[in-house]
Amino acid sequence: MKPEEFEEIVAQALDGLPEEFAKALENVAVTVEEWPTPQDLRSVGISHGTLFGLYRGVPKPARAGIPPVVPDKIVIFSGPILAFSSDPNAAREQIRKTVLHEIGHYFGMSEEEIRRSGN
């Protein structure tokens, strides 16, 4: 899959968000990077393994009315997703799930809460 195609699928996942969630996304950038760095892995408590996405920022509920200065960032890692996926349809579904997963972190959900929700 070409990088432009991957980025388009990420954009489609964002466009497909329910309106109430899309309107509530504030000051967050969603980007695509090829692979997580060792620092990215450490930031989530793993030294090796697969990381499909990462939320960098202060979850919205924890902001307590303090306006953020720099945007939060959601990073979707194309390398691990494409390596894990058996075909383009599987990649598309994993991209969608990863975008939703990281948005869950933005809204303050824990890993357990996100997994219970099916993402």
Is residue 26 pLDDT above 90, yes or no?
no
pLDDT band of residue 112 (cuts 50, 70, 90) is: confident
Q: How far apart are CA 9 and CA 39, in angstroms?
A: 26
The domains located in the chain, with CATH, are 3-116 (3.30.2010.20)
pLDDT, one tens digit per residue, over 34-54 is 999 989 998 888 877 789 999
* DSSP secondary structure, 29-62, as one string: EEEEESS--HHHHHHTT-SSS---EEEES--GGG
**For the chain, what percent of residues have pLDDT higher than 90?**
53
The reported pTM is: 0.88
Q: Starting at the earlier edge strand, list the strands of the sheet with 72-77.
A: 28-33, 72-77, 53-56
pLDDT at 109: 87
